[in-house]
Chain A
């Protein structure tokens, strides 16, 4: 179904996020006859990986590549299925009501309450924090942001652009720049040149027999056309007064400065866990991916009854694995609400499980090879950790020396993680910083406990919620 104007008061299933996992989940659930609504923040479906696939002005297929256009099929299936699709909709709170949930949703500045029996959270990935000196200067953006500009607006970097970092997405975006005839001044490759091959050898065969080998080789070849590559970059600093003017880096025993007007940073993606965390889903520290990952079973079921997680939000595995995961999660949801029994779920899900396993093969190798070096994850001195509240690494360490034991207590010392982004760009950094200072591990230290509302909302939106007699009575104490 196309985008809905009005929300129904209740559905059997709500899916959060219209990326590959969310779209596949909504379609698969609707095919099983489950009354489904798909909520998404963006104006058009696709998530970030297929961002703008219905609206992009770049219609030459080779420019964004076949893997991008695969998303068109997912969108077509979504718009052709019986599920309701609600774009520009932010689900900002979830309350347990009996065996189900009540969702608070804002659309165009007005809040609504929607009851559901089951929830599939498919909130995808975000770019890992890249806390280097000067990363808050205007003109410093993520590589993912530059890719969004390319996909949605046909905007590409001009002269004076430096790209820095590591990871498959960085190579993909460079290849897309090259296809668009764009070159950058320099690519500063921060991929560590340590002996991680020793750690990765177990995963080599998996990678060599995966779909990623051929794609990766072609990608790296095309990416090289986008600019001069400096390998083994050991430190990075963005310098400027009110915007970026230069980037300083160290490589091969030399410190070099490059003038630039734009610096694009990237060092991999991590699960966007805020939503699952706020619901109370158990999470674990993944040492190889160096991030927190929600705990799920083989069907995506989280530790919270009635909540299934799908896609990169449940652990980074890439778009095609996420799509299969969405189909798996939909069967789990259909089973949880009694539409099918576990035996039917297992039989119907075998194909999706096999598909997911195929796209998971080789991922561990990529995780090991592109694990960011510690100096890019754990900053020192006056480098900003929390962009919103402008808290530095030094301040975080001082709070630990004053006796602060973890991220949640630190909030009351420093307000770190309490700005509008709600820890999305400092959570991992803070956990690793505190762990290092206390001689502990991020697994022991833990992550922020996040709370609803998941995104800032206005008092006006809150006030627009439908009032019950009980809620009015609680505030104005009308005589009965």
Chain B
């Protein structure tokens, strides 16, 4: 578990994680927000369904994929939090929206 140094300032930005209200520190990435909120995991894999969480935080491992504002497969470590953002844990592979492809 990670904790915040006091000089980082308090989280003030309202958003939701899996539908639950939460506060994020402005400037943080989505992945840092999840870790700071005590979520080590953020998704299950498409291959075996095993749990995964952020691993490298520098944009190359693709283990921090989450759904952000309805868009799946977003790299949580590369995206800065915004007020009102809806962050949702991603289960398995991204569903294909058949209607959208017509």
Given the known interface contacts A138-B41, A154-B8, A243-B51, the answer about A43 and B80 at a Cβ–Cβ threshold of 8 Å is yes
A287 to B62, CA, bound (A): 28
Among candidates A59, A148, A421, residue contacting B7 with C-beta atoms closer than 8 Å: A59
The answer to whether A408 has its CB under 8 Å from any CB of chain B is no
**CB under 8 Å from chain A, chain B span 73-93:** 73, 77-78, 80
Chain B positions within 8 Å of A, measured between CB atoms, are 1-5, 7-9, 25, 27-29, 32, 35-36, 40-42, 45, 47-48, 50-63, 65, 73, 77-78, 80
> Would you call B4 and A154 a contact (CB within 8 A)?
yes
The 6 sampled A-B contact pairs (Cβ below 8 Å) are A153-B28, A154-B9, A158-B2, A262-B2, A262-B40, A390-B45
Known contacts A390-B47, A390-B50: does B57 contact A158 (CB below 8 Å)?
Answer: no
Give the residues in chain A near B47, CB-CB below 8 Å: 389-390
Fill in one digit per residue for A115-127: 1 if any B CB lies within 8 Å of its CB, else 0: 0000000000011
B interface SS class: loop
Chain A interface size range:
35 or more
Say whether A424 faces chain B, with CB atoms less than 8 Å apart: yes
Cβ of A136 within 8 Å of any chain B Cβ, yes or no, is yes
Query: When the two chains form their complex, are residues A149 and B32 in contact, meaning their CB atoms are under 8 A apart?
Result: yes
Instruction: Given the known inter-chain contacts A149-B57, A154-B4, please indicate yes or no for A136 contacting B52, CB distance below 8 A.
Output: yes
User: A138 to B2, alpha carbons, bound, how many Å?
Assistant: 13
Which residues of chain A in 61-114 are interfacial with respect to chain B, using CB atoms and an 8 Å cutoff? none
By a CB distance below 8 angstroms, the chain B residues around A419 are: 62
Assembled-state Cα–Cα distance A156/B1 (Å): 9
Shortest C-beta distance, B47 to chain A (Å), equals: 4
> In this assembly, does A144 line the interface, its C-beta being within 8 Å of a C-beta of chain B?
yes
A132 to B71, CA, bound (A): 33
Query: B61 near A149 (CB under 8 angstroms)?
Result: no
A152 touches B29 (CB 8 A): yes
Q: In the complex, A326 Cα to B73 Cα: how many Å?
A: 34
Q: With A57-B27, A60-B7, A152-B28 given, name 13 new contacts (CB 8 A).
A: A127-B56, A136-B55, A141-B55, A144-B58, A145-B55, A145-B57, A149-B35, A152-B29, A153-B29, A157-B3, A158-B3, A388-B62, A390-B45
A289 within 8 A of B: no
Task: Judge whether B7 and A425 touch: CB under 8 Å.
Answer: no
Name the distance in Å between A225's Cβ and chain B's nearest Cβ. 17
Which residues of A (133-159) have their CB < 8 Å from a CB of B?
136-142, 144-145, 148-149, 152-159
8 Å CB contact of A141 from B7, B8, B36, B54: B54
Residue of B nearest to A459 (CB): B101
Contact (Cβ within 8 A) B51 A48: no
Is A480 in contact with chain B by the CB < 8 A criterion?
Answer: no
- Report the Cα distance A60→B5, complex, angstroms: 12
Q: Quick check: B60 and A142 within 8 Å, CB to CB?
A: no
The answer for the CA separation of A112 and B47 in the assembled complex, in Å, is 33
A180, B73: Cα distance in complex, Å: 34
Given the complex, which residues of A lie within 8 Å of B63, measured CB to CB? Answer: 136, 387
- A59 / chain B contacts, CB cutoff of 8 Å: 7
User: Hey, which chain A residues are within 8 Å of B42, CB to CB?
Assistant: 138
A142 to B31, CA, bound (A): 14
Compute how far the CA of A155 lies from the CA of B9 in the bound complex, rounded to whole angstroms.
11
Asked if A155 contacts B7 (CB within 8 A), the reply is no
* Also in contact, A262 and B1, with CB within 8 A (given A148-B57, A420-B62): yes
List chain A residues, Cβ under 8 A from B53.
Answer: 138-139, 141, 243
Task: List, in ascending order, chain B residues with CB within 8 A of A388's CB.
Answer: 62
Q: Which residues of A contact B73 (CB under 8 A)?
A: 456
Please determine whether B59 and A41 come into contact, CB atoms closer than 8 angstroms.
Answer: yes
Identify the interface centre among A60, A127, A152, A387: most chain B CB within 10 Å of its CB: A152
Instruction: Indicate if the CB atoms of B58 and A158 lie closer than 8 Å.
Output: no
CB of B35 within 8 A of CB of A158, answer: no
Is A261 part of the contact surface with B, judged by Cβ < 8 Å?
yes
Q: Is A443 an interface residue (CB 8 A)?
A: no
Interface assignment of A242: CB less than 8 Å from any CB of chain B: yes
Q: Do A58 and B8 have beta carbons less than 8 Å apart?
A: yes
Contact present for A421 and B60 (CB under 8 Å): yes
Shortest distance in angstroms between B56's beta carbon and chain A's nearest beta carbon?
A: 5
Chain A's closest residue to B57 (CB) is A145
Q: A144 to B57, Cβ gap below 8 A?
A: yes
Q: Which of B1, B36, B42, B55 lies at the interface centre, i.e. has the most chain A CB atoms within 10 A of its CB? A: B55
Instruction: Please indicate the chain A residues that have their CB under 8 angstroms from the CB of B41 in the complex.
Output: 138-139, 242-243
A55 within 8 A of B: yes
Chain B positions within 8 Å of A390 at CB level:
45, 47-48, 50
CB distance from A175 to the nearest CB of B (A): 16
Is the beta-carbon distance between A58 and B62 smaller than 8 angstroms?
Answer: no
Interface residue from B25, B27, B40, B56 paired with A126 (Cβ < 8 Å): B56
